[in-house]
Amino acid sequence: MKITIIGVGLIGGSMAMKLREQHFADYVFGVDLNENHLLEAKELGIIDEISTLENAVKNSDLIIIAIPVDAARKILPTVLDLVNENQTVMDAGSTKLGIVNAVKNHQKRNRYVAFHPMWGTENSGPKSAVSESFSGRAAVICDQKDSAEDALNLVKKVAENLDMNVIYMNADEHDVHTAYISHISHITSYALANTVLEKEREEDTIFQLASSGFSSTVRLAKSHPEMWVPIFKQNKENVLDVLNEHISQLRKFKSALEKENYELLEELIKNANRIRGILK
């Protein structure tokens, strides 16, 4: 099978690597605005050919869009314009309502499957790609009734080849869930980094004292704005809702400390500890 990867970065690159290893993809076209990424991806053997969008799409059975969600929403109608009834288009974006709404009246909407693999790191670019990244993670398919059966089956096979577990939900449900299971984590991590950078003027001290706990909490704060601003923008209402809840949870800790109510502090911590039973 021939595939096109639009956006040969962390996600697109990792998918291409794995799909090629699985012999699911025989030939991979790479399309990207970033020429360095294209050259790197070619050199790393992630793609076979650097191509224009038109040429790549024309010659592929499957087109995977793996670029920031604002750009994905813009490019999807163009890609659908170019495909025929034997071709399938999928994306990998972290928000779903924006992109499905962008093509809801498109004549070839049913050639598109809304997809979100629940994996990522704070790094970007083809050099960060790892073929085993997705293994054992969830892959969300949204609004499956709007996709043609053969397109849906092909995307399921992609998920299988990535060793992912498929979950189905509506695009709006998806955006609510990801607001608190993924997007808020990034905001807290960014805000934590800013707190420490504001309070701790001696960068050396941060570097020297940073424990593994701090590093893991602040890891996501390394994630790039090019990817995350569009996500927050498209999922604004849900993210704000969760952010308000988060600030109110932090205020409970603040109030417990201010009032020296250590029983309440203990209760808050014990409640948080319940996450241990949910996440191994």
Instruction: Tell which positions 211-240 bind a copy of itself, by CB under 8 A.
Output: 211-225, 228-229, 232-233, 236, 239-240
β partners of residue 169: 142
Task: Report the nearest approach of a copy of itself to the CB of residue 117 (Å).
Answer: 9
- All residues at 6 or more sequence positions from 15 whose CB lies less than 8 Å from its CB, including other chains: 5, 64, 66, 92, 117, 134, 158, 162
User: Collapsing DSSP states into helix, strand and coil, what is residue 243?
Assistant: helix
Total count of residues recorded for the chain: 280
Q: Which of residues 256-275 bind a copy of itself (CB under 8 A)?
A: 257-258, 260, 262, 265-266, 268-275
Our finding on whether 194 is near a copy of itself (CB under 8 A) is yes
Binder to a copy of itself among 54, 132, 150, 203 (CB under 8 A)? Answer: 203
Binder to a copy of itself among 90, 140, 152, 164 (CB under 8 A)? Answer: 140
Task: Report the nearest approach of a copy of itself to the CB of residue 183 (Å).
Answer: 10
Q: Burial letters for 81-102: b for 16+ Cβ neighbours within 10 Å, e otherwise?
A: ebbeeebbbbbbbbbbbbbbeb
Site string for a copy of itself, 67-106 (x = CB under 8 A): ----------------------------------------
- Residue 85 sits at the vertex; the CA angle it makes with 4 and 73, to the nearest 5 degrees, is 55
Our finding on whether 135 is near a copy of itself (CB under 8 A) is no
For 30, the enclosing helix (H) or strand (E) is: strand 27-31
Q: Which of residues 150-189 bind a copy of itself (CB under 8 A)?
A: 165, 167, 177-178, 180-182, 184-189
